[in-house]
Amino acid sequence: MTAPLRIGLLGLGTVGAALFRALQDNHTSIKNRSGRSITVTAVSARDKSRDRGINLQNVAWFDDPVALASSDTVDCVVELIGGADGTAKAAVEAALSSGKHVVTANKALLAKHGSALVSLAEKHHAALNFEAAVAGGIPIIKTLRESLAGNTVSRVSGILNGTCNYILSRMELEGLTFDACLKDAQRLGYAEADPTFDVGGFDTAHKLSILTSLAFGAEIDADAVYVEGIASIAPLDLVMADELGYRIKLLGVAERTSTGIEQRVHPTMVPKHWAIAQVMGVTNAVNVAADIVGELTLVGPGAGGNATASSVLSDLIDIARGIVLPPLGLPSNALAVPERAPMQRHEGGYYIRLAARDRPGAAAGIATRMAEQSISLESIVQKRPPASRAADPAGKSGEPVPVVLITYATTEEAIRRALDAMMADGHIAEPPQLIRIERG
């Protein structure tokens, strides 16, 4: 009879406890599918006395995660500690150096040290699996690495952070401000006390860098990702998006362009009829465009104990079956060094909201600056708030007036030059709002 796969579990938080329960509750079906038992034989966590609702009576406890990772009592280490450095990195390196397989949900670790860890895994003939690191329960890693291995991928994009999608969804549906939605998300546990990593776009950027590597056969290059968050999005932007037939989503987008591989994270206007525009709340979605299959969109829970544990389980079952694949789809020495496409070369349509000074010559000056950069305008909308119109029906107060410009396709560089010139002219009272438009 095949010996059980002995698991060392690092971290017993929401995901770790959910994984432990799933391995117990589904023990028989997992054994039947993988051909052997998968059993947690050792754990390490911060507080041994904490009640997690699981029975650890027959499980060895290690105060030191690195010691567990090096122990001969486990065959595979599941790292659920988190963080790009420190204990998580040391434990994963120790496990791989000992020839142990590793399953991790740690996107920050992979984004920063993925290339080195992949080489270490290959050197010691160990698996390094990370389905749970991107989009929670959505099997996007296997989809790119295995199911689409015969395709040439041209673009991968998605909603990769549930916190941001929850905030933008509530802002749109309830007309709330960003700050109000963020406070509610923190109260409900969807956002951290310090939400910068999520709402600033950095969490999405880490995940995107991993998908980019898998999609284009390139080394992970997280430093190349252009990042903007959602804190600047105002209720008026969501109203205008609705009127124009769009929804605003924080997207991570990676695509092959004539100037290299473009990686960008930013608020994006997407047409309402697109499948990804229908994804609301904390749900995630990933779209892949490839030459043979065409387009695929995968939608599902992007976080949470059970969703993440489901992805960890799929990786463990592969290891139990004896499946060890190149972590990034290709041997590390075959991964290309990605050519970075500068964001200034990005081409597309733009939504621009200006706080235009209500004075003679302002509108003409704005139009002139756009024309100087050969930027064609699809539409111009002046949106004076109702309260302002009632107080000043003639529009002579001189107070800034919201003006929304929608451009045809142009370059990021041209847009930035035009906006810098407008600011220098004094025609706009505050930095402009700029949102890129995806039209397909």
| Residues designated as active site | 207
Q: With contact defined as beta carbons under 8 Å apart, do 15 and 305 qualify? A: yes
CA–CA gap between residue 114 and residue 335 (Å, rounded): 12
Q: With contact defined as beta carbons under 8 Å apart, do 320 and 38 qualify? A: yes
| Closest C-alpha to 240, from 403, 27, 101, 31 | 403
Q: Give the H/E segment covering residue 347.
A: strand 347-356
Which residue type does 277 have? A
Q: Give just the sign of the alpha carbon dihedral 266, 270, 272, 275.
A: negative
Half-sphere exposure of residue 6: CA atoms within 13 angstroms, side-chain side: 15
CA–CA gap between residue 376 and residue 321 (Å, rounded): 58
Residues in CB range of 428: below 8 A, 6 or more apart: 354, 355, 356, 357, 366, 400, 422
Residue 353 pairs in a beta bridge with 404, 433
Tell me how far CA of residue 262 lies from CA of 22, 52, 160, 209, 436, in angstroms: 39, 43, 17, 11, 14
